[in-house]
Structure 1
Amino acid sequence: MYKPYGIIPPIITPFDDQGYVDCPALAQMSRFLVDNGVHGLFPFGTTGEFYAVSDGEFIKGLETVRDAVKGKANRYGKPIQLIAGCSHITTREVIRLIKLVEQVGGYDAISVLTPMFVSQTQAELYTYYKTIADSTEMPIIMYNNKPKTNVTIEPATVSRLARACPNIIGIKDSTGDMTNTEEYLRLTRDLRERFDVIMGRDTLICAGLHYGCSGAVASCANVAPRVVADIYDKFHDGDYKGSLEAQYRLAPLRIACSMGTFPEVIKEGLNLQGLQVGKCLEPIGELTVEEKEKLRTVLREMELI
């Protein structure tokens, strides 16, 4: 069974002037990230504006990312990991998206966010993920992003699902709550051969690795792939000081993301680097002139421009 590890950017989705997925730009982004040291790619996550694409764009985007990195290997001599985001409000729509991923082929796992808008009990969340897991043989990574959804998967529910569903292989924790991450790790520590916890808060990657996370899905890796990859690679090499320094170097960029509606800062950062990825879809607006200048300063100090 697939085991996620390393730095896996939730790759942004470039849009053209008409608001459609720009597949040539998406292929360019995929190669840019891999050439700068990331260990996998995750299209159509939160950073990828998954909620904004049609089924046709979803399929074409998955194919584009897959084909752009075909035959490439990461630092550890392994093929580039591919995780497809399959998130929706209802169980049946998530399952429908999973069938599209199965149709495309070539993906190691799928990521499923908690439902949005509706507020579920833990019993309902258990049934949600159990039903989804029973619908497919693909490995599933649960995704907790309480700051965005106002829904959380409690540690006891995660442990229960990990034990009940062999193809639920991990959880991405974007809560920013290290106690929550620690509890995920503690309650599943006897399952580590087949269940991993992945850090989803960019400022806590180094901390998560020390606790036992297997890697991170890091939005800022779109803009600073080498910096973020260094956090993992140096940690893996036993250079803990170097890993921490890379984490410190990344921090100003992640903090700058609070300037605009997510993920506009990520896209603007790429545009400032000369990677033309377009804007976020409306109603997300551009940064102000002052905000763009602040971001430019951050990128300059990070030696990214």
Structure 2
Amino acid sequence: MQSFTLRGVIPPVPTIVDQAGAFDPKGMAALLEREIAAGIHGMLILGSGGEFCHMSLAMRKEVAEFCVRHVAGRVPVLIGIGASATAEVIELGQHAKACGADAVLVVNPYYATLSRPALIAHYKAVAAAVDLPIMLYNFPGLTGQELTVDLVLELALACPNIVGIKDTVDTMSHTRALVTTVKGARPDFLVFSGFDEYMLDTLLIGGDGGIPATANFMPTITLGIYNAVEAGDFAAMRAGARQLAKLMPIYGLDQPFFGLVKEAIRLTGTDISTAVLAPSLVPSDKIKAQLLAVLRAAGVLPAA
């Protein structure tokens, strides 16, 4: 397999659906065009923010096919293929390959806690069966189980097509250890932050970028931070980090945050459906008002 390189800001793109819960290609196309026009470096389809966990297998395939076809190679497209069953992950991975995806993202199986040998066997089976670059996805807050640094190192050294990780952890120590230990042993291994506010720290210690949900509606902030790091512009880094910090309360307004991101996209200029898939609920009017206040405080929208 050829080397897979990716850096920068890769938004986890929401999936646009109508009020009945059916995929909305027109709305999705509008969002994809907005993302590309903003200058993002790639996009993640069917990540956590893409509501894959609330979709049927058929719907996941429909969304993947449409997005890869619509983007048409203009930026790299990663497809989330995580599931609890190894066979389902492989099926989705092979489908992503057939669609023309550039890479896949694989969260560790959830619900049943797995032994280390079981986790290793799972990822090795996926790597052997899916002929695409594979990004691991560590999100212990949702899966209930962390991908430890030594486990990631073992997989990175054993499987050439396991090329990186999205590290969604509320601490820099784990991400720092991935950079120093795993990239230390395999320099081409990619380390991306999952939480927006850790992207700057990840880049400063030698990581490769971030997968921030705020980039769906305010990409200039995280793109600005990335560009500032590339240019060594400390003042711009500081300004971007301070503005981004004012956006972070969004994630605490509702659970899950899927509807909030869609509402923020609508408020910032793209007329999309903000419906979500059950069992999620659309944000209440009270929560929408709180979102509006956060966006105004962060300078994303003008003050009232």
Task: Name the CA distance, whole Å, in 1 between partners of 2:299 and 2:41.
Answer: 22
1:118 corresponds to 2:120: no
- The alpha-carbon deviation at position 35 of structure 1 amounts to 0.9
Which residue matches 2:96? 101
**CA contact 2:139–2:146 (8 Å) conserved in 1:** yes
Query: What SS is found at the alignment partner of 1:281?
Result: coil
Compared CA separation, residues 193 and 277, structure 1 to 2 (3 A): farther
Which residue matches 1:133? 127
Query: What SS is found at the alignment partner of 1:42?
Result: strand
Give per-residue Cα distances to partners, 1:1-26, cap 9 Å, x unaligned. Answer: 11221000010001112101111111
Give per-residue Cα distances to partners, 1:193-241, cap 9 Å, x unaligned. Answer: 4211111111111111111110111112112112121111121122132
Task: Name the CA distance, whole Å, in 1 between partners of 2:36 and 2:264.
Answer: 18
Compared CA separation, residues 55 and 189, structure 1 to 2 (3 A): closer
Query: What SS is found at the alignment partner of 2:178?
Result: helix
1:304 corresponds to 2:300: yes
Which residue matches 1:75? none
**CA contact 2:107–2:139 (8 Å) conserved in 1:** yes
**CA contact 2:249–2:294 (8 Å) conserved in 1:** no
Which residue matches 2:196? 202
Code of the residue aligned with 1:304 in structure 2: it is V
1:283 corresponds to 2:279: yes
Code of the residue aligned with 1:82 in structure 2: it is V
1:27 corresponds to 2:29: yes
Task: Name the CA distance, whole Å, in 2 between partners of 1:122 and 1:211.
Answer: 28
Within a 5 Å distance, the mapping from 1:81-230 to structure 2 comes to 81-105=76-100, 107-230=101-224
- The alpha-carbon deviation at position 254 of structure 1 amounts to 2.4
Give per-residue Cα distances to partners, 1:263-297, cap 9 Å, x unaligned. Answer: 22212212322432322212212223222112112
Task: Name the CA distance, whole Å, in 1 between partners of 2:296 and 2:39.
Answer: 21
Code of the residue aligned with 2:79 in structure 1: it is A
Task: Name the CA distance, whole Å, in 1 between partners of 2:102 and 2:185.
Answer: 20
TM-score normalized by the length of structure 1:
0.92
Give per-residue Cα distances to partners, 1:44-102, cap 9 Å, x unaligned. Answer: 00000012233443233223322333363xxxxxxx12111001001111001011111
Query: What SS is found at the alignment partner of 1:47?
Result: helix
Pick aligned residue for 2:262 from 249, 267, 284: 267
Which residue matches 1:240? 234
Listed as ranges, the gaps of 5+ residues in structure 1 are 73-79
Task: Name the CA distance, whole Å, in 2 between partners of 1:35 and 1:225.
Answer: 10
Task: Name the CA distance, whole Å, in 1 between partners of 2:200 and 2:181.
Answer: 21
Give per-residue Cα distances to partners, 1:138-157, cap 9 Å, x unaligned. Answer: 11000000111111111000
Task: Name the CA distance, whole Å, in 2 between partners of 1:96 and 1:235.
Answer: 39
Which residue matches 1:12? 14
Task: Name the CA distance, whole Å, in 1 between partners of 2:180 and 2:199.
Answer: 17
Compared CA separation, residues 135 and 144, structure 1 to 2 (3 A): same
**CA contact 2:166–2:194 (8 Å) conserved in 1:** yes
Compared CA separation, residues 45 and 240, structure 1 to 2 (3 A): same
Query: What SS is found at the alignment partner of 1:299?
Result: helix
Query: What SS is found at the alignment partner of 1:17?
Result: coil
Give me the CA root mean square deviation.
1.6
Listed as ranges, the gaps of 5+ residues in structure 2 are none
Equivalent pairs: percent with the same residue?
Answer: 28
Query: What SS is found at the alignment partner of 2:105?
Result: strand
TM-score normalized by the length of structure 2:
0.93
